[in-house]
Amino acid sequence: MGSADVSPQMAFARFVRRAIDDAREERGWTVTDLAAHTGVGRSTVFRWLAGDWQDYPELAKVRGFCAALDLPVAAAFRALGLPDTGSGPWRRGSEGPVEADVRVILQRLADPAVPAEEKHHIRDLLRYLARRPIRRAG
């Protein structure tokens, strides 16, 4: 299985496992300590470790987790398969219409106020579009 075949759940679980191992080695933290310092609940940490999620983790929690552990948020976003929203073509003002649409879709997928059913519909439609054969004009 190549790196392109790794699911976001597996990649993020590896990222979280490394962060927990480093916090234990460098700071002597248990998962309970980590939860207290990052503001991410123990059950959420264990779900992340198990790759037990369908909807993307709340980005605010991911940011808090990274900030408390002095980890780059961009690394967490890459593990999740998301763009680093603070740089490159995804930055507001430097984007074209396609990038703007993709940014809005990513925001909706990350927004805890958007119902899970709506997120599933968005992802199903994106999968359909990604796998649809391209018809050449002419």
The pLDDT tens digits for 37-57 are 999 999 999 999 999 887 788
Decide if 103 contacts 90 (C-beta within 8 A): yes
CA distances from 2 to 5, 7, 11, 48, 81 (A): 5, 11, 12, 21, 15
pTM above 0.85, yes or no: no
Q: Are residues 75 and 101 in the same domain?
A: no
CB 38 within 8 A of CB 6: no
pLDDT for 60-110, tens place per residue?
889 889 999 989 888 898 888 887 654 444 444 445 677 777 777 877 777
88 located within any domain: no
Output the CA angle 126-131-133, nearest 5 degrees: 125
The domain in which residue 24 lies consists of 8-80
Contact assessment for residue 83 and residue 92, using Cβ atoms and an 8 Å cutoff: no
Residue at 85 is within a domain: no
